[in-house]
Amino acid sequence: MVALPEQLLLSELLRRRVRCDQGLDHGAGLQVWMHPPVHRVLGWVSKPSAFGSRRLVWRLNQLRGLTDLEVLVQGEPAETEQDVVERLPSLIDAAVLDRRQQPIGSLADAAIELRTGRILHYLVSRSDPRLPGSSRWRLSLDRLVDQQPGQVFTALESLDDLPLARASVRQEFLRRSRRWRDQVQDAGSRFEERLEGWLEEPPWQDQDPSTRPWEGEASDDAWDQDWPEPYSESSPIDTRRQRRSAPPPNDEDPWL
């Protein structure tokens, strides 16, 4: 069992199955029970059976522990019907409107303080919040202008005015692509600056003109070296060849 953290996302609470101190499984979390005017979570609702309209309502202070797949509770729940649960007020899934009162997303999740149930901030989704891996933007309570069932009003221009809490694969790819593009542009700008500086001030500008590759007076000594003459009768190489090929002065065979 994992000790209770100070803060918890509502989705982390609802995705787990409820198990009481008697060891009974009371089904998976279904819906939040909250008080929207003060942005406070009072509890949540579980569905004990796949069939039937029976629902169980749990108070937040009944929560005792967490595991990877379950929430551990203590005490008895309050039984109710699905019709009553549907009438419970909630801001989750409410449309988020910008300053022109145009929808820019929906409230997909909320971070709650487990000790008091106070909502610290909401998480906004641009697309369907049920899609896995979608991006989330953090919406603090001070950015809310007004609210009514199914809608919350803000003074935002777009979701880009909010800090990104979790990026989707597509959003992360776009962000990395934008960063790579900026890096390439910066590298290109630096290369152009270096190239312009190199063209304006060549590296041999301060050197002695006589040491430049194509300036200064060329020394005639470099061209007056003793280059070997073409092969001729007086050539030393030809003389050596004649010496090697000439017969010995004695015509007699030394081995006879």
Report, at the CATH architecture level, how domain 7-86 is classified: Roll (2.30)
- Extents of the domains making up the chain: 7-86, 95-169
Residues linked to residue 45 through DSSP beta bridges, in sequence order: 31, 57
The reported pTM is 0.64
94: closest CA among 51, 59, 146? 146
CATH superfamily of 95-169: PRC-barrel domain (2.30.30.240)
pLDDT of residue 208: 55
Instruction: Give, rounded to a whole angstrom, the gap between the first and last alpha carbons of the chain.
Output: 115
Please tell me the distance from the alpha carbon of residue 99 to that of residue 65, in angstroms, as a whole number.
Answer: 41
Tokens 């409410």 belong to 94
**Can 7-86 and 95-169 be said to share one CATH topology?**
yes
- List of residues 6+ apart from 50 with CB closer than 8 A: none
pLDDT of residue 3: 73
Q: β-pairing, 119-125 with 78-81?
A: unpaired
Q: What are the mean pLDDT values of the chain's consecutive 10-residue runs (256 residues total)?
A: 83 93 93 95 93 93 92 94 92 95 94 95 84 84 93 94 75 54 68 66 55 50 52 49 51 46
What is the identity of the amino acid at 27? G
